[in-house]
Structure 1
Amino acid sequence: MIKFSILIANYNNGKYFRDCYNSLITQTYENWEVIIIDDASTDDSVEIIEAIIKQDPRFSIYHNTSNRGCGYTKRKCMKYATGELCAYLDPDDALYTDALEKTINEFNEDDIVAAYSQMMLCNENLIPDRIFGGTKQIYNSRYFFNCPTQFAHFFTFKKETYLKTSGINPNLKSAVDQDLYLKILEHGSVKYIKEPLYLYRLHSNGISQQSFKQGAKESFAKVIHDTMKRRGIRTINNKIVPEIYTNSQEIYELLNYQTYKLHRLINKVKVTFNI
C-alpha cells in the first residue's frame, strides 16, 4: 500500500491549522504521514500545532532554529519524508476528504511522475467561492515553464523522482513551488485531475500583497532562467536566452509567444491527440 507524505512548511499560520488538520484526519485514504517544519514562527503557532497533533503519531513537527525562508523549509521537509508519494500543503489551506485517494488512483493507473488537480479558492473562513480558472491540462515539453500559470495545487510527485533532481532551491523565498514543478516535470509525464482537491484560503495575514507579488514575480523569473540553463536552452522562439540573469522583464519577454492563441491552440491539439 503506497504511503503518502504530506509536507507542511509553517510560519505564523497556526491559527488556521485546525482546518488543515481536520481535512487530513478525515481522508478516505489511510496510509499517510504529515511532516511539519516550523520556520521559527514569532507567534504561538508551535504551541497551537503541537496541542492539536500531540495525540496523533502520524504527525511529526520539526523546528528551524532561525527563520530560513520557504525554500529552505520546504527542502527540509523532504529530508524527513518516508512516503513514496509527496505533496505540499500550506497550513492555512486544506484538502478535500478524498484528495489522497483520487490522487493515488492516478499513479496506480498511469506511469507518471506527478499529478495535479484544480483548486478551490476560498474566503478567510475557508468557505468555497470559485474554482481557480487558470488550471488547465498542459503539454509538457522542455519549453513549458508554467508561465502563464496553468497548474498549481494540488501537486503530488514521486519521491524517487525528486531525488533525481537537485531538489528545491533553499535560497528561494518565493516561487518555491514553481521551482519544484519544473524540476519534476523534466523526468516524466504528469496527469491532470479535472476537479478541485485543494482548498486555498485567501487572506492577507498582514503581508503587503503588492510588494509580495513583485518579489514573487522576480523569483519566478529567476527560476525560469535557471530552468532554461539547466535544460540547455540557448534560444527560445528565435530569441537568445541571456547567459546571466539581469531582470525579470527580459525573461518574461522571451515567453510572450506562449500567451498567443495560436500557440495555445497547437498545445491543445498536442494534448488532445497525445502527440
Structure 2
Amino acid sequence: MNMPIISIILPTFNGEKYILQTIQSCIQQTFADWELIIVDDGSTDDTPNIIASYIASDKRIRSVKHPSNKKLPAALNTGFSIAKGHFFTWISDDNIFYQNALQKMLETLNKNPTTDIVYADMDIINDTGQKIGKWPVRDVKLLGYRGNTIGGCFLYRRNVHESLRGFREDFFLAEDYHFWLLASENFIFYRIKEPLYGYRQHDLSLTSRNDEIINKTQEMLKNTITITQKKWLKAGILVHMAVNYRLQKLYKESLKYLLRAFATCPVGVLLYSPKLFFLS
C-alpha cells in the first residue's frame, strides 16, 4: 500500500447498528487518498463480518482486532501506531463525515502552513440520520472553560500525535479532551465555520453517560492542571473543575477552585466564564 495522505482511525465495539454508515461516509469522500484503519475492540456482534466485507472490496481499508474490550483510548492508540498518513483523524462508529470533510480540512491546512490542527462545526443527527440541530464548535481559548470545544470533526498533522504520544488510556471518557488540552499548549488551531460532520445523538452514545464523564473529567483535569503552563488555559481548567463540583453539589470545593481561577488569570475568567459558571 502506498503512503496515504490521510489516516482515518475508526475504533468500534459492537458497532453493527451504525458502522456501515460510518464506513460509507469515508468511502464517499471527495478526497480519495486516505487509509481507513478499523480497530475492532473485542466486538461480539456482527461488526467483524461488516468490517471483513469492506476490506474485501476496498484496498484502502484494513483492520486490527483486540481479543477483548480495551476501551476507546487503547483502540485509538492501536490504530495510530500503524497509521501511515501525513495527517491524522478519527471517527466514532456512530457518526459520519460529510462528503467534502477531508478535502476541506486538508485544503485549510495546506493553505495555512503554520496551522497544526483544523476542526469544523457539526450537525447533530438522530438515530435515523435526520438533522435535529447544529453544533458550532468554539474558539480554542474556551477549551479549558467549556470542556471539549473541538468536537468530533478534525484533522491534524502527524507530528501533533507523535509529540503528545497518543492518548492516555487511563482517561477513558475524557481521553480526547485531555489530548486537546495538551495540544493547545504548543500547537496552532484553526476553526472551520462550516458543518462537515454528523454527530449522532442516541441513548447508547458515550456522551450520554454524564455522571461517569464528570467524574473522569475531574480526575483528568486534576492531572492536567499540574503540567499546564499557559495561564489562560490553567484558569479555564480551574473554572471547569469549579463548575463540575457545583454540578455535584460540592459547593465549598467549587468556590475554592473558582477563586484559584481568578487568582491565576482574572481577565480570562471574566471574559470566558461568567455565564458558564453562574448559569450552569
Q: Contact 2:12 / 2:92 at 8 angstroms: preserved in 1?
A: yes
CA distance in 1, matches of 2:42, 2:273: 46
Q: 1:206 to 1:31 in 2, by over 3 A?
A: closer
Residue in 1 aligned with 2:125? Answer: 122
Residue in 1 aligned with 2:30? Answer: 28
Identity of aligned residues (%): 23
Residue 199 (structure 1) aligned with residue 198 (structure 2): yes
Query: Unpaired runs of 5+ in structure 1?
Result: 267-275
Residue in 2 aligned with 1:14? Answer: 16
CA distance in 2, matches of 1:55, 1:252: 57
Q: Deviations over 1:73-128 (max 9, x none)?
A: 11111101111111110111110100001000111111111111111100101111
Distance apart, 1:218 and its partner CA:
1.4
Residue in 2 aligned with 1:222? Answer: 219
Distance apart, 1:253 and its partner CA:
6.3
AA at the equivalent of 1:226: N
Q: Deviations over 1:12-42 (max 9, x none)?
A: 1122112112211111111111111111012
Distance apart, 1:57 and its partner CA:
0.9
- How many residue pairs get matched? 253
Q: Deviations over 1:210-231 (max 9, x none)?
A: xx21111111222222221122
Distance apart, 1:55 and its partner CA:
1.2
SS of 1:139's partner is: helix
Greater displacement, 32-41 / 166-175: 166-175
Q: TM-score, normalised on structure 1?
A: 0.81
Query: Unpaired runs of 5+ in structure 2?
Result: 246-252, 275-280
Q: Contact 1:86 / 1:157 at 8 angstroms: preserved in 2?
A: yes
Distance apart, 1:240 and its partner CA:
9.0
Q: 1:251 to 1:230 in 2, by over 3 A?
A: farther
Structure 1 moving runs of 4+ over 4 Å: 232-237, 250-253, 255-258
Residue 254 (structure 1) aligned with residue 257 (structure 2): yes
Q: Contact 2:138 / 2:149 at 8 angstroms: preserved in 1?
A: yes
CA distance in 2, matches of 1:213, 1:252: 22
Taking the TM superposition and a 5 Å limit, the aligned residue runs for 1:8-87 are 8-87=10-89
Distance apart, 1:233 and its partner CA:
7.4
CA distance in 2, matches of 1:43, 1:252: 47
Q: 1:69 to 1:79 in 2, by over 3 A?
A: same
CA distance in 2, matches of 1:65, 1:10: 13
AA at the equivalent of 2:116: V
Q: 1:146 to 1:57 in 2, by over 3 A?
A: farther
